[in-house]
Amino acid sequence: MSLPLHLRSYREKSKDELTRDYFNVPVQSSLPSPSDPPSVVKLRERPYKNGQEELQSMDINAVISVEGKEEVYAGRLSLLPPFLCFISLDRKSCRCTIPLYTIRRVERLNSRAGVFALSLATWHGMRIILQLTSLLPTAEHFAILLRDALKSQLSAMKQLKPFLPSLYSEYLLSSPVSTAAGQQQTDHLLLGTELNEKAGNVGTEAESDLRGPGGEGKGIYQRGLGEQFGFPGDARKMRERSKMKLWREYFMIHGRNLTLLRYPPFQRLLQVGLPSRLRGELWEVMSGSVYLRFANPETYGLLLSQNAGKSSQSTDEIEKDLNRSLPEYKAYQSEEGLARLRRVLVAYSFRNPELGYCQALNIVVAGLLIYMSEEQAFWLLEVLCDRILPGYYSPSMEGTLLDQRVFESLVHRCLPMIQEHFVSVDVQISVASLPWFLSLYINSMPLIFAFRIVDCVLAMGVKVLFQIGLAVLKINGEALIEVTDDGMFINLMRSYFATIGDSAHPDHPDPRVRAITNFQELLVVAFREFNVITDETITAERKRLRAIISDEIEKFSKRAAVRNLKNVGKFSKDQIGIIYDHYFSAICSPEAGPSTYPGSSPLPGDQFDQPRIQVDAQGRVETRIDHRTFRVFLSQIATWAREETVTTNAFIQRTDRRVADHELIDRLFFAWDSQNQGTLSLQDVVLGLNRVMTAGLMESIEWFFELHDKDKDGFLTKDEVIQLSESLLFIFRNEPGDIYLAAVSKFILNAYEFGDATAPEGSVDEKIPIHGDKETASGARERSDSSAGPHNLPYLNLATFRMVVLADELLENFFANDLTASFQLEQTGDEDYHQAHQRPEGLLGGLMNLVVTNENKNRLNRLADGFGAALGKHAEWRKPALTKTVEPSTSSGDLKARESLLTPAQQAGQFQRPTPPRQRSSSAVSQASTKTVESTTTIGTPDEKRSLADVEARYREESQMVKAAQEAVMHRPNFAIDAIGDSDDDGEGEGDDVMDEVEAFLKAHGDDDEGLKGEQKKVAEDLLKAEPMGKGKKKDSSSTSTGDLVDL
Amino acid sequence: MAEETPVKAVQVKLVLLGEAAVGKSSLVLRFCQGDFNENTSPTIGAAFLTQKCRLENRIVKFEIWDTAGQERFHSLAPMYYRNAQAAVVVYDITKAASLEKAKAWVKELQRQANANIVIALVGNKLDLVSESSTSPAPPASEEAPAEEEEEEEEGSSEEPSATPTPNETESDDARQVSTAEAEAYAKESGLLFFEASAKTGHNVGEIFTEIAKTIPFDTIVPKSTTNTSGSRRSGNNNDNGSNNNVNLGEGQQAKKGGCC
């Protein structure tokens, strides 16, 4: 059983990351620097490198225009090194992401006073004019950052030349335009050819012209299986040639591949379906995966070569699914196609071992490979898994579950009738919609249509999946209201998708209306009626529902883990649940160490990077804990395995818990490791606890004895006797009074006495002198150390040990009651962890989060301590593990007085004994270990019950105070600043604001599609003609020196 | 749906569960062949298939959810087994671990699914260990050669000849779960029990026959809220008590329904 550990380490994305996501730009740290060795296995957190500073990002208002185009757009320019991105104010007309390594030259233009404008010359000869419309100093600062970022990309520029030929658009634009006559000829030739709509039935020869230039053996661009086995769909019906012509024209003006600008025609060309030959390239450009392919040229090959011949659970699973991946497409009936599919999936499973392989990826990749090369598909797969569909394919599939919930909530919001009906007949929408999302509709509708949806998803993001899903439901609304069970629902959806290419209005008199297919109608409904579903909607909904989903997943895996235990001992179901909670929270606790890679460079191909996950003999993944984690776990259960410091000051009383560290804990760990794996499974832990928690006097003595009998020969050696007594002292370290100490030293003496009498022949070759009762523990230790006798021979057997223990009333009581009772199963309070820890949203919430951090809490505590100390009311003491008496200790002088009693380990200062000495008769000993102690007369805590109640009451008080403070902050009147600038607040409201702003802007500046008009347009036009600033001027301002970057 | 059922049709929602690669899909395909359509999607979450069986006085329409076996899809399973009247939990008799997984599924179903769900435990891939301890394949196996292609999930492409008992010792080795062990477990947990072969078709029909016989149709309560359009359901209530003598038109009756 593998547990969903990663859910607790989830964090919301930062604003910078969200912006980068929006522009499909990878985070800077994920891009290798030229000096790095090629990265093979994915690193979740790249270690900080010395000397290499992150380049700074910056946003600025700007107006963009391009040579050869009328339109001028105002918007936001973002420098996200090594990329320059722009989005127009309406967030749809104009958008671009330009890698800085494709910019040959930047010049500051000599223009009217007060206008700061830069001219960018791109690799493809395009000239982009950017007017920075912010204040001059801001603009200059931006220019400086841009210059620095450009400089850092000079080396990357050299790789551009060899890289570009891998892109089809380069081939397309270098091939001559075919003559009209030639086209007609091919048209004629093809008239009689029967072309089947079905996937893969198209003749490849005829295609080369119908689908634009190219084909097998032509050019060296990277290509998909479609070039060889035929692209799905009828090239003529899909008007591939005219689409290609339009794209070619578009590329001439708006740049291509890496320098592609999205202007309004782009959206239109996109929505009619991308031409097959160009599709793969546009997919990687639109999704941004091309930047990864550019930056990691060797990775894919290395992954394959380094892992050749290796097999894993993932590779086995991949093998099984190969034949079930779009088997209707011709290539996947051939070895060539299957081999490509296998390679990409296997390579990715080694790239991202945590994810490995998830069913449905086979379908997705099979789809991608029709249009893309293996390497292209590989990188797009990475972008899909990381960014576009985060968590969809992970081992707990939390992204999938989350988005299904988000989808349901959107259905509830947009199509309440359908939602209500489905609730009333108890049908879950997910039974149908799950595969839509998981396979990007590739598996749900005929390929040619599914790929058009993929086009839109990659261009516009995941919201498209939701929009299409909602549109499907809306269009079928009437029939859906009649559905009574999942079977009907599934069949209805199936028959709709099967007829999606048919006319939406077959009986309409107007032939043009008749020509509208169901699919076209679907797109119209999706993008027109559901354009209210924006990226922000999705982000906000995900944020709202994530905690619920995470808790559900954790509960589910808890149920499964508990159920899968083969032996639960004498524990009740609830107790097992508590053990599980501790086990799980220990793994997730920061004290257990990092859950990511132990080192910065994991071995490539290591199936499981996490030390806590192992694969069992059947190849199944299992979560196990190492001894560090075990210490955390045990500290939550055994009272003696933690250090609890109770602090009182003038204001509050609090208890700080720390994990204790002692050999005894490690001994338990190894004793419970039934399979000698160096790690413990949940089952091991349950059985281990079962033994110690159900033990009576004799059983306790026995397991404690065994714990210290390293070679399991039934005898403790002399050394082991000492170790055992050290263990006892460790457990007793915080007990008040001397009695425990005395008991242990008496134990040692007795052990040696009895031991010498009963030890096997030969093990006692030198008589150990026994002194009297005054002998101290440390004395005994010293003596045994100094004695020449071997300490590793069998010496003390169980029977003798038992005798020694039973000789002492306190020890007897300890083994009879206290030891067993020191293991306590208390609720962790982790029920609905995620919902409980969900951070308040919005700007106010953000403020709260800034204020209420652990660090601040600690600081506050220290502050309170300081005050307390000043007032003379500060006190600190350790909570004892066995007795429940709590008393403050002040007299450190007593410590020294008793030092002679301590073992060397304690003398080293490992354990502080904060208890003041008290005289107590041995008859009081048994009472001491039980609860009632009256003699504790100290300040503040007259009796134990009182003090506990006190602690509790103060806790309650404290939490109420925090609560009140939170509420106070929440209810404070809104400042003006609250209303703006917080993208995480309410998705819709915020969107409205932006829209208002846009509308207001548009009213002032003309209509939207044409971009800017009037004055500003004039300025932009002038700028096109403007000369760069002269050499002399360049020295004047540092910003102009960006012009130094000349072409290569 | 009511219009296409001449006699009283009873709808049974059945879910298939089990570890990956134990042959769940193969079993369903074998059972649903008549109805099988080539475009049946590979299992993403779960594949949905239907198959009708004629009984003497009623038609049983199985709505089958063939769930994905991959471990990570486990958390999606409740979506498919909720409201199911029957479940077939499959393991591979040549893989001991798959029975453990099957037991976990049974436990989960007994705790989380419908209270009166009928569960059948099925050991698949009997063809790989075809010793004579079990009865020879029933007549259904005649169709076997044509179905080679569908058995891909069993990953047994290298041994198409395994069916006619190559040699005794080898087949003994292949079996990791003894009939007695699994049967005892089934009995103890109140499950129907079969050993079957999706490849040869042995016992496949019987699984579904026995399930159909065991489902307490009288007590199937129409979904509480189906009143709006639940004409199909209300029809079920009329044929009381007639399920004692039912017999599916096809296939033989299984001998070892170790059920209650």
Choose the closest CB to A430 out of B42, B50, B79. Answer: B79
Tell me how far apart the terminal alpha carbons of chain B are, to the nearest angstrom: 33
Answer yes or no: are the C-beta atoms of B64 and B97 closer than 8 Å. Answer: no
Strand-pair partners of A128 = A66, A120
Three-class SS state of A380:
helix
Both ends of chain A: CA-CA distance in Å? 57
**Residue A135, Cβ neighbours under 10 Å: how many?**
12
- C-alpha A72/C-alpha A85 separation (Å) is 16
Determine the residue of chain B that is closest to A434 in CA distance.
B45
B39 contact residues in A (CB cutoff 8 A): 328
DSSP A919-938: ---GGGHHHHHSS-------
- Percent of chain A clearing pLDDT 90 (strictly above): 40
Percent helix / strand / coil, chain B, rounded to 5: 40, 20, 40
Contact A454, A442 (CB under 8 A): yes
Gap from B47 CA to chain A (nearest CA, Å): 10
Burial of A919 (0-12, 13-18, 19+ CB in 10 A): exposed
Tell me the pLDDT band of A876, cut-offs 50, 70 and 90. Answer: confident
Name the band, by pLDDT with cuts 50, 70 and 90, for residue A983. Answer: very low
pTM: predicted TM-score of the whole model, two decimal places? 0.76
Residue ranges of domains in chain A, CATH in brackets: 9-47+54-158+1012-1034 (2.30.29.30), 165-388 (1.10.8.270), 398-533 (1.10.472.80), 695-821 (1.10.238.10), 842-871+941-983 (no CATH)
Q: For residue A169, give both structure tokens.
A: 């658009």
What is the DSSP track for A269-290? HHHT---HHHHHHHHHHHHSHH
A vs B, Cβ pairs < 8 A, gives 111
Check if B70 contacts A (Cβ < 8 Å): yes
How far is it, in rounded angstroms, from Cα A227 to Cα A276?
Answer: 9
Q: Which two tokens stand for residue A840?
A: 């308040």
Which of B41, B46, B108 is facing A563, going by the closest CB pair? B108
For residue A718, give every residue at least 6 positions away whose Cβ sits within 8 Å of its Cβ, in sequence order, or none: A752, A755, A784, A789, A791, A792, A793, A795
| A234 min Cα distance to partner chain B (Å) | 20
- B234 to chain A, any CB pair closer than 8 A? The answer is no
pLDDT attached to residue A947:
52
Query: Which B residues 157-186 touch A at CB under 8 Å?
Result: none
For residue A917, pLDDT beyond 50 = no
Q: For residues A548 and A552, give the distance between their C-alpha atoms in angstroms, rounded to a whole number.
A: 6
| Predicted confidence (pLDDT) per residue in A212-241, tens digit | 887 777 888 999 999 999 999 988 888 898
Q: Is A486 in contact with B63 (Cβ distance < 8 A)? A: yes
Contacts of A21 (CB under 8 A, 6+ apart): A13, A387
Q: Are A777 and A728 in contact (CB under 8 A)?
A: no
pLDDT digits (tens, 9 = 90+) for A511-563: 999 989 999 999 999 999 999 999 999 999 999 999 999 999 888 888 888 88
Cα–Cα distance between B62 and B15 in angstroms, integer?
10
User: What b-and-e string marks burial along A339-373, b requiring 16 or more CB atoms within 10 Å of the CB?
Assistant: ebbbbbbbbbbbbbbbbbbbbbbbbbbbbbbbbbb
- The residue ranges of every structural domain in chain B are 2-244
Residues of A in contact with B97 (CB under 8 A): 618, 620
Residues of B in contact with A613 (CB under 8 A): none
Within a 10 A sphere around the Cβ of A850, how many other Cβ atoms? 9
CB-based contact A618 B97, cutoff 8 Å: yes
Q: Bridge-partner residues for A95, per DSSP?
A: A87, A262
Do residue B75 and residue A397 have CB atoms under 8 angstroms apart? Answer: yes
Nearest by CB to B230, which of A325, A439, A484?
A: A484
Can you tell me the distance from the alpha carbon of A270 to that of A776, in angstroms, rounded to the nearest whole number?
87
Q: Which residues of B48-75 are buried (b: 16+ CB within 10 A; e: fewer)?
A: bbebebebeebbbbbbbbbbbbbbbbbb
ipTM score: 0.73
The pLDDT assigned to A53 comes to 62
Q: Are B70 and A620 an interchain contact pair (Cβ–Cβ within 8 Å)?
A: no
- pLDDT of residue A249 exceeding 90: yes
- Picking from B135, B126, B145, the residue whose alpha carbon sits closest to that of residue B253 is B135
pLDDT in tens, A355-390: 999 999 999 999 999 999 999 999 999 999 999 999
How large is the angle between the packed helices A842-851 and A944-971, nearest 10 degrees? 140
Q: Is pLDDT of A196 > 50?
A: no
A553, B75: Cβ pair inside 8 Å?
yes
Distance, CA of A873 to chain centre: 45
Other Cβ atoms within 10 Å of A999 Cβ, number: 12
Closest CA to A128 of A264, A261, A282: A261
Indicate the Cα dihedral angle A853, A857, A862, A864, nearest 10°.
140
Q: How far is B247 from chain A (nearest CA, A)?
A: 25
CA distance B255 to chain A (A): 31
The C-alpha atoms of residue A202 and residue A209 are separated, in whole angstroms, by 13
- DSSP characters for A170-229? HHHHHSPPPPHHHHHHHHHHHHT----SSTT-S-HHHHHHHT-S--TTSS-----THHHH
Contact A358 B80 (CB under 8 A): no
Residue found under tokens 């001991």? B96
Read off the pLDDT of residues A150-164 as tens digits, 9 standing for 90 and up.
998 888 899 999 999
Over residues A732-744, mean pLDDT: 85
Greatest CA separation for chain A: 119
* Cβ contact, residue pair B97, A443, below 8 Å: no
CA B141 to mean position of chain CA atoms: 17
- B2-244 classified as CATH 3.40.50.300: yes
User: Shortest Cα distance from A564 to chain B (angstroms)?
Assistant: 6
| Between A509 and A1007, the higher pLDDT residue | A509
Does residue B125 have a pLDDT over 80? Answer: yes
Write the single-letter amino acid at A891: S
Q: Give the residue ranges of DSSP H helices in A773-851.
A: 777-786, 798-806, 809-813, 819-821, 833-836, 842-851
Strand ranges of the sheet holding B118-124, from the earlier edge strand across to the other edge: B46-54, B59-67, B9-18, B86-92, B118-124, B192-195
Rg, Å, chain B Cα set = 18
Q: Does B221 touch chain A (CB under 8 A)?
A: no
In chain A, % of residues over pLDDT 70:
71
pLDDT tens digit sequence for A667-711: 999 999 888 888 888 999 999 999 999 988 999 999 999 999 888
Q: Which of A378-382, A981-985, B167-171 has the highest mean pLDDT?
A: A378-382
Answer yes or no: is pLDDT of B258 > 60.
no
- For residue B6, what pLDDT band results from cuts at 50, 70 and 90? low
Split at pLDDT 50, 70, 90, the class of B13 is: very high
